[in-house]
């Protein structure tokens, strides 16, 4: 099983442990990921706020690079997932837009095809690879763990993915397959404020704080997320808000890749978290630094 891999910038820096754990579990599952050669930043929510053509071009160049491989593309970053799918959607709707972008890309001998499939890593594992394949690899079921599935906003919120009606289930399904129990809380798909981290940091912390508070009212042992930015933002807010969180119960925030790594019994170094501490259900504020 070969797939193309588009990491996105944060997976090479602040979310490096997310990338490591995702690559490690794909390896266990026998999935061969080929990193897209010379990929560039997708432009996130910023390029599109400044110049439409540049933002389309940034996203499309990656699809142009992908075209040579003729394989579906997988990205762990929800924001990249939105950018790449946006350009596919725009160009499917408008041939002239698509031609214009391809003319620009021709300078680098690239063309892109609107037929390219772009998956987010979570939907990829749960729906394309499938829960049965995942089940076979479990060595250390997470029995007794209560896990809060926190999706963040990009995956479910964007118009790219309207089928789920804002009520996604893939994290819950994954948690159950791994032997743990998903916990219900109201802010599953609420924005963590990640995009405001630089420009409106107080507000960003407030949003993350609200999500944390709502999780702390449940009996969750862990928070799991499919987004590197959410992971970082919740951790920062947790440190800063420490005293204000009900029951003073700091919770580890891990990515779904790290959660699967725990169940596959991979070692701490590979998945970038302190396994012992988590499995002992110790209250820890931060795992990454």
Partner 1 sequence: MKKSKRRNTERAYEDSGFIRDIISSREGARVLSCIQCGTCSASCPVFEVMDYPPRKIFAMIREGMKDKVLLSVTPWICASCYRCTVNCPAQIKITEVMYELKRICLKEQVISERTDANRFYSIFLNQIIKYGRSHELGLMIKFMMLHHPVNLLQQVPRGVRMMLSGSLSLFPHRIKNAKTLQKITDHALKLQKV
Q: Which of 38, 132, 136, 267 binds partner 1 (CB under 8 A)?
A: 38
Residues in 17-36 that interact with partner 1 by CB under 8 A: 17
- The 3-state DSSP class for residue 264 equals coil
Q: Which residue, 139 or 242, has its beta carbon nearer to partner 1?
A: 242
Identify the bridge partners of residue 255 per DSSP, sorted by sequence position: 225
Give the number of residues in contact with partner 1, rule: CB under 8 A.
58
| Binding of partner 1 by 107 (CB under 8 A) | yes
C-alpha dihedral, 141 to 144 to 148 to 151, nearest 10°: 10
CA distance 42 to 80: 6
Q: Residue 45 and residue 234: Cα distance in Å, rounded? A: 20
φ, ψ dihedrals at 74, nearest 5°: -120, 135
- Interface pick for partner 1 out of 149, 168, 182, 193 (rule CB under 8 A): 193
How far apart are alpha carbons 285 and 122 in whole angstroms? 25
CB of 128: closest distance to partner 1 in angstroms? 23
H or E stretch covering 208: helix 201-216
Question: In this chain, which stretch among 46-54, 124-132, 138-146, 273-281 interacts with partner 1, using CB under 8 A?
Answer: 46-54
Between 72 and 157, CB nearer to partner 1: 157
Q: Could you list the residues that contact partner 1 (CB under 8 A)? A: 9-10, 12-17, 38-41, 43-54, 56-58, 61, 82, 90, 93-94, 100, 104-105, 107-108, 153-154, 156-159, 162, 166, 189-191, 193, 195-196, 198-200, 203, 207, 288-289
């Amino acid at each position: 099983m070969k797939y193309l891999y588009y990491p996105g910038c944060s997976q090479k820096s602040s979310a490096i442990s997310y990338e490591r754990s995702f690559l490690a579990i794909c390896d266990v599952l026998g999935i061969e990921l080929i990193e897209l050669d010379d990929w560039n930043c997708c432009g996130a929510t910023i390029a599109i706020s400044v110049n439409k053509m540049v933002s389309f071009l940034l996203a499309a160049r990656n699809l142009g690079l992908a075209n040579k491989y003729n394989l579906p593309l997988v990205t762990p970053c929800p924001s990249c997932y939105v950018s790449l799918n946006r350009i596919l959607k725009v160009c499917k709707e408008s041939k002239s837009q698509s031609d214009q972008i391809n003319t620009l890309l021709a300078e680098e001998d690239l063309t892109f095809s609107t037929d390219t499939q772009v998956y987010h890593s979570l939907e990829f594992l749960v729906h394309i690879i499938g829960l049965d394949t995942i089940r076979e690899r479990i060595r250390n079921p997470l029995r007794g763990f209560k896990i809060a599935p926190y999706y963040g906003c990009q995956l479910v919120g964007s118009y790219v993915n309207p089928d789920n009606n804002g009520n996604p289930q893939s994290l819950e399904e994954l948690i159950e397959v791994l032997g743990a129990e998903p916990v219900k809380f109201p802010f599953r798909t609420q924005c963590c404020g990640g995009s405001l981290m630089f420009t409106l940091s107080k507000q960003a912390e407030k949003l993350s704080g609200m999500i944390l508070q709502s999780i702390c009212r449940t009996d969750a042992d862990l928070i799991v997320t499919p987004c590197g930015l959410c992971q970082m933002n919740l951790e920062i807010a947790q440190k800063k808000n420490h005293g204000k969180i009900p029951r003073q119960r700091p919770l580890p925030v891990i990515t779904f890749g790290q959660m699967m790594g725990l169940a596959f019994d991979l070692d701490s170094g590979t998945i970038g978290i302190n396994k012992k501490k988590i499995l002992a259900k110790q209250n820890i504020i931060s795992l990454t630094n």
